[in-house]
Amino acid sequence: MADVDREIAALKAEVRRLQATIDEELPAIRASLSQPRATMRALLECPHCGGRRVLEAEKVADRTDAGDVPLAVASKGFWVRKPVGALSCWICASCGFAEWYVISPEQLEVDGQTIAEHTIDDADQGPYR
Ligand SMILES: [Zn+2]
């Protein structure tokens, strides 16, 4: 019986220790939940299903009559159009959720037709606009 009492006492102490850890960590966990969501590419974990097997398609082929070209958001050139803003894709192997990335976003030119730019003016977030 004494062994059982010692085991119960040890378990109660462990529960108190775990509760103290939760109480200590909870504010930081709550604060992190209000932060922007990290990407699957950064986490290597699916934000939708929690899957931890993530596939990367470094370049995605766009199959044309002339053959495969990189799938891109725009093209450039007068005689021969070349893809600009080629895409890569990160895919959750469990649920199929996909994140697309432009490999070299600095190559994109804002022309107002194919590519438009939208920004948020942080200085203009007050209630009186
Ligand atoms: Zn998933």
Which tens digits make up the pLDDT trace of 7-48? 999 999 999 999 999 999 998 888 877 677 789 999 999 999
Query: Model-level pTM greater than 0.75?
Result: no
| pLDDT tens column, 41-91 | 999 999 999 999 999 999 999 988 878 889 999 988 888 888 899 999 999
Residues with CB under 5 A from ligand 1 (ion): 46, 48-49, 51, 92, 94-95, 97
- CA–CA dist 110, 121 (Å, integer): 18
Name the 3-class secondary structure at 85.
strand
Dump the DSSP string for 42-66. HHSS-TTT----EEEESS-EEEETT
- Written as six digits, the tokens of 79 are 């005689």
With 70 as the cut, is the pLDDT of residue 129 above it?
no
Q: Which tens digits make up the pLDDT trace of 80-94?
A: 888 899 999 999 999
Specify whether the CB–CB gap between 48 and 95 falls below 8 A. Answer: yes
What is the C-alpha to C-alpha distance for residues 102 and 83, in angstroms, rounded to an integer? 12
Q: What's the CA-to-centroid distance between 52 and ligand 1, angstroms?
A: 8
